[in-house]
Structure 1
């Protein structure tokens, strides 16, 4: 038996006024995800434990069976695992655009990988402290490493949560480390405009110490592989001892290399017992707050990912679990911690006929703790 986990990041949503009080998923034509719901069994999953922010790090770790209450240290350190980066403290470091004290663009104009690398090189060349170092990631998603001990806990805010808001109320707080981060942000605002017109400030967030996750193969007795468009999921995979399959031409947006993602997923299923395919584009559109574009993004995912995979895999020998990690409602342009709809193909059927937020609530699994999802997928 093969196991395929499909995670369209941020796909779940709320009812949207301009969509006649329907969610983007309800409006979108999704015959392939509907097939999985009709021929499988459904439910809703709580992927963000109480007390945690609804980040993709927390949600995806939970889906993969990792108890974040025991193992989570922050987003930055997980992305550091993906890059082979180590340090005492690691923060995600967005390249952002701030105008008149307001967060205008958390993605630095979707700065290209190449231009972002040049920015990081210049930041390292001009950095004010030897214990500080920047590492390039993908596009606006970069890393800040601080190799110095700080005992205080710093509070930071994800920049995608404050789009259109004044940044003064969302700057780092909590002691000496927070003061250092604010100093670096102010310093970057002075030099970035000389390097690029896309971004004019760094925004560190999600910091912590390097984590230790349970080994996937030892826990489940399966050989696993991850295919993803973002460092975060790559870091989770490497931290759990899973292989990472690279795909050329991926963008993390809805213009990504769908054909390549499908091709490599199908190949991975030939060589591995368990394969995760995580895609980012729908979540990015949710952050933009464009309901019609999110409908289009979901339809692209259904036809170019799910539909193509259904034609390539042996459905008699493959179990498929499909769910977003968290909702990203276009109304609020950020993540929320509400349960997400899931459908599981290959473990019986229920009365659900279409894959939507509402219909999955009527599925036979009901409300499920996200930590149980792996057991539902792979148990005999």
Structure 2
């Protein structure tokens, strides 16, 4: 298995056993809208809900490659669960551990790592998903505290979160990203969450979240006042790498389903795998999936090595991961024909789930813009 140590291979074995025993039996229930809170707790018991954190706060002291391996394996059975997990782990718990204060690290992070608490990353708004620097949610100082008002949109786990990492404008709109502050808010009556029905990755508790005069103290600020953009980007870069891993898991599962079906499906007196066009489809799917694996695993290793090009490779992983997922599932579904289009086939769910990888954590159009900006710096 490419680039994997014996320890990484053992992690894959453990998580595959977990997926087969606990996730696959629940995958369709999650797809129908069931939020997998119990599975988060089980992942926490194995110390792999947030594997990169130290053991004393509920992690496994593992590297970033371990993180993406867990996400990849979860995504094979339930991209929805993989999405919840990667946001709770990289974008919330790990982010708070490295950028939050003592209370965040000692009281909140262990709850997120164990699955006792659920967290949500609240950045996107009705006005601005891709243009996150234009957010309109405001945080104003009143009587020694912050008062936050605004609306967040498309928030994964928003319906069920116990904690919200909220990004709010703490200065003039024209200052854009230089006047955004991150706050960690505990759920209370000032937060109103409304469900959003989505095409794929169902069961993720996706919601519109309204903040109505939410009070926050200085201890609730994550990082520095007007330094929220750094916190957001810290989470988003890891989020984009994780989307690459989700795409990899989806592509692997779709390829496996298509290959097995092609061996068993008889047409014109022989298995359809004997037809050259089907062989070419499968070969193309395999080549693209393995190329994606190389990019995702390399980006993970770059992060741990402190490579300055990691943010660039995270964007590339997201772009290629999402495109590969959509294209491989499309070909797999074509191989399965009518069966693939029915809800009896896992591909029907994977096809819907794959599409959102081209949209969330930054649309692919925005990702291309970002990649080009990095290119200009490299080639200057």
TM-score interval w.r.t. the shorter chain? under 0.3
Q: Give the TM-score normalised by the residue count of structure 2.
A: 0.26
Report the structure, 1 or 2, having the larger strand content.
1
Report the structure, 1 or 2, having the larger helix content.
2
Q: Which has the higher contact order (CA 8 A, sep 6+)?
A: 1
